[in-house]
Amino acid sequence: MTQTIPGIHHVTAISGPAQANVDFYTATLGQRLVKRTVNFDAPDTWHLYYGDRAGSPGAIMTFFPFADAAPGRIGPGMASAHAYAVPAGRFDGWLDRLRAAGIAFAGPVDRFGARVITLRDPDGAPVELVETDGTAEADLDGFHSVTLWLRDPARTARLLTRVFGYVEAGHERTPGAERLRLVAPGGARGSVVDLLRTDVAPAARPGAGTIHHVAFRAPGVQDQVAWQDILAQAGHRTTPVIDRQYFNAIYFREPGGVLFEIATDAPGFAVDEPEQTMGTRLMLPPQYEPIRDRIERVLPPLRVAA
């Protein structure tokens, strides 16, 4: 059987001050703060994970918050937006709640036959809500998609279709832009990737309000190892497997310049604390436990509204 990618595992972005980020994702979007940990490469910085109650693959948005981060600029060679799925019957409720709270949004607009609105997080990053035909009880049912802004979408499309197993599902043109939709078979959360090309292409600049990388799912360790071989045969060199405590990760740059990760579903976010209390205290990988006191002194305090 040909190995395919089922969809997105998580998306990781850069933000400004952590508290504003927490307020937006927990209070405005109603996501659970699933994990409080640190940037494994810079342990004096938070790494915050938001998602559904269980911290499921396909529902996880993560951030590196830097209080003094300079604003970034979205452009070609970046993932330019992430989108949540809003189950049928709940989309109008979102419009009503956002208006009542005085939260600005753009839209709704029609995209491939579905209504879409765009909010801006505290750093100006676009966050899209897409109406779907799902029947989940949650107001947001994990990811719907990510958008990759590319100068030449054809090369990225070849990787996603010929290597990852995605299929073309639509093509739309609007004034000054075109969007190609690719979908992973199987109907998993976050199965959609949109490739965007525009006539105006500003130079991208990493910083607050930009996406750092997009992680795709590998159900198990053996699948991930197989992806290393598959990608090598296709001319894409990956990093060695890196233990990220809650999943194993490999990374590579896709042809358009976006940093891709392939992350395992296991062991998951309940590996070091019970699901009932996930996200309520700082969790550290073993190498940083000896300096926990020092780390706790430098990390900005966080408050999550009840």
End-to-end CA distance of the chain: 47
Q: Are 80 and 211 in contact (CB under 8 A)?
A: yes
- With beta carbons less than 8 A apart as the criterion, state whether 143 and 190 touch: yes
Query: Would the pLDDT of 1 be above 60?
Result: no
Q: What is the mean pLDDT of residues 142-169?
A: 98
Residue type, 218: A
Q: What share of the chain is helix, strand, coil (3-state, %, to 5)?
A: 20, 40, 40
How far apart are alpha carbons 185 and 270 in whole angstroms? 28
Main-chain dihedrals φ then ψ at residue 145, nearest 5 degrees: -165, 170
> CA angle, corner 87, sides to 212 and 268, nearest 5?
45
Work out the average pLDDT over 205-222: 97
CA 75 to chain centre: 17
| Domain 8-298 CATH assignment equals 3.10.180.10 | yes
Residues 271, 37: Cα–Cα separation, whole Å: 13
pLDDT of 191 > 80? The answer is yes
Position 305 confidence tier, pLDDT thresholds 50, 70, 90:
confident
d(CA 81, CA 34): 21
Which whole number is the average pLDDT over 222-231? 97
Radius of gyration of the chain (CA): 19
Q: What percent of the chain has pLDDT over 70?
A: 99
Distance CA 98, CA 16 (A): 23
pTM over the 0.85 mark: yes
Beta carbons of 23 and 29 less than 8 angstroms apart: no
